[in-house]
Chains A and B, each alone.
Chain A
Amino acid sequence: MRTLFLHLHPSKVNEASLRLNRTFGLGGMAALLLVLQVFTGILLRFYYVPSPAEAYDSILFLKNRVLFGPFIRNIHHWSGVFLLLIAFFHFLRVFFTGAYRNERRINWLFGLLLLMLIVLTNFTGYLLPWDQLAYWAITVGTTLIGYFPFFGNALKTMIIGGKELNAATLQSFFTFHTAVLPLLLILFVIYHFWRVRKAGGVMVPDVQEQKKMVPVMPDLVFRELIAALVVLAVIFAFSAIFNAPLLGKANPAYSMNPTKAPWYFAGVQELLMHFHPFFAAFVIPFSVLLFLAWIPFLHFNEAPNGVWFISETGKSTAGATAVFALIVTLSGIFFNAWVVNFEILLPGIPAVISNGIFPLLILIAMMAGYYKLYIKPRKLTKPELVQVMFVFIMVSFIILTITGIFFRGRDMDLVMPWNS
């Protein structure tokens, strides 16, 4: 047992890796939350029934008649939210410290895979309460899949098991959420940790003069323990105060206004307000995913390892690009909402072009202009260029997500969050 544990957990570590701002312990926090989810998930399974007739009532029973029912349910809900957020921050940290190069390249890909598995687990779990929130969010989410080219409709019908959400959908989502995905997550997380060990532990800047190895007990283990306790305390406090949402029982004949996708898809949903679904749901997300997977395989030789933002130039250009992305995204949102909507302006042209290729070309032109005027004169190295691209994508995505969650109200009009 001890040797299995020691294959995943080191027995000695580089003292330089102990500093908090190397990793902020984010990967470890994510692993802890995964364990918490499995535990609370198992508890919930003793009460939940995965059929449209009984699912909602089983949750009401859990909330009203089971001791600690609401608490366990809240922990499961908020851990789901925090797990995705922490995994995302971990992903950002790995990128900005350059911990995806050389022998860590494959692990970057497995990390992306884990991120997608977490999103899928969130998505399948979202349907289970079978309330109005669940039913319509998943209806919108699965309809988006229908916009994929060639196999979109077949894939959507296969996932739903019919034309609209039904008992088969709930049953299969439940099986994925409680069996298939947890198994895959656990297996791949173990592999992910093992690969970190294989790469020599967490990334440290190679400017250190001498590598000093210290035993993990107490230096690392105590830190891990404290971090775990803090995370648990925050989750428990949150779960004691805030309730997981539950609306009325699902009504397939009545959509809510507004009907919103789950929060982690709010960015795509916001993109849908500005682009034809083919671009918003397929072209743009898949291009971004392709870019992210490709990053470690672009040839870098020149970047120092473990240094945040690579260099001073890297830092300043990243900051400037963040501001640029903010301006472009916000002006695009306001332009579409208040000035003009291309689809309405050019009704003769197919929507894929007027609301797809056209705005995309405008966006590319703006990015090209930014590159020519600001980036090119600064003669960035290849890693710094990739970083600029990455920052643009991530900041835009975050702005879109925040807008989609907090600033869209009735009829999907732009509103202030306190007015909706």
Chain B
Amino acid sequence: MKKPDPSIQPEMTSVHENEGISRRDFFSLAWKSLGIVAALELIGSASFFLFSGKRKPKTGTGQLLEAGPVDSFGMNTVTAFLGGRFFLARQQDGGFIAISLRCTHLGCAISWEESRKRFICPCHSSAFDITGEVRNPPAAKALSYYPVLIENGIVKVDVGTLVERNTFRKDQLTYAQ
């Protein structure tokens, strides 16, 4: 800021002093703003870097696991497919459902107990029936499932799509034609 010239009237110099911004302050503000922009760019590019590049999981969407011919599964039976992380359960009326082996309470792997006709979780003893419906707490939701397709008499399971649900409904079953 220029030192006010003593020969100039005070009113005129005060008008100049109150207007605008000093050179120092202007550059200081400019550098800070550019710094903030640079920081945002850095965070932005780092975020894009980290969250893009979706790794294709081993079981990609639409990847079908062939379980076997329809008639090889008896009514009211459960067959384990641990590699696909599911149990293939065939109901009394012939409907198929591929039940995820993850307990809905805290994620432990359940097992099928034929004698009690229940899926039992080893962590807190939650129990589910052959449709995946909750029968014993602490789990509160029915087991999730993978969609089943039946093509040319072969049962196929879409292991890339996990469907979560609260309770069992009949339309979640798949029937052979």
Question: Chain A residues in contact with chain B, CB under 8 A?
Answer: 136, 139-140, 142-144, 161-164, 166-168, 252-259, 272-273, 276-277, 341, 343-344, 351, 355, 411-412
Contacts and interface: CB of A to CB of B under 8 A. Distances in A.
Interface of B: 55, 57, 82-83, 85, 101-102, 105-110, 121-125, 137-138, 140, 162
B57 A254 contact: no
12 contacts: A164-B102, A168-B55, A252-B85, A253-B85, A259-B106, A259-B123, A276-B140, A343-B138, A351-B140, A355-B137, A355-B138, A411-B125
Contact of B122 (A164, A167, A256, A273): A256
Contacts of A355: 137-138
A412 B108 contact: no
Report whether over half of chain B's contact residues are helix, strand or loop; otherwise say mixed. loop
A211 B68 CA distance: 85
A253 B124 contact: no
Contacts of A252: 85, 109
Contact of A259 (B55, B108, B138): B108
A144 B107 CA distance: 9
Contact of B82 (A253, A272, A277): A253
Contacts of B82: 253-254
B150 to A, nearest CB: 25
A413 to B, nearest CB: 9
Nearest to B162: A163
Nearest to B58: A166
A412 B102 contact: no
Contact of A344 (B101, B122, B137): B137
B123 A258 contact: yes
Given A136-B108, A343-B137, A344-B137, A253 B125 contact: no
A249 B79 CA distance: 25
A255 B108 contact: yes
Nearest to B55: A168
A139 B57 contact: no
Contacts of B107: 139-140, 142-143, 164
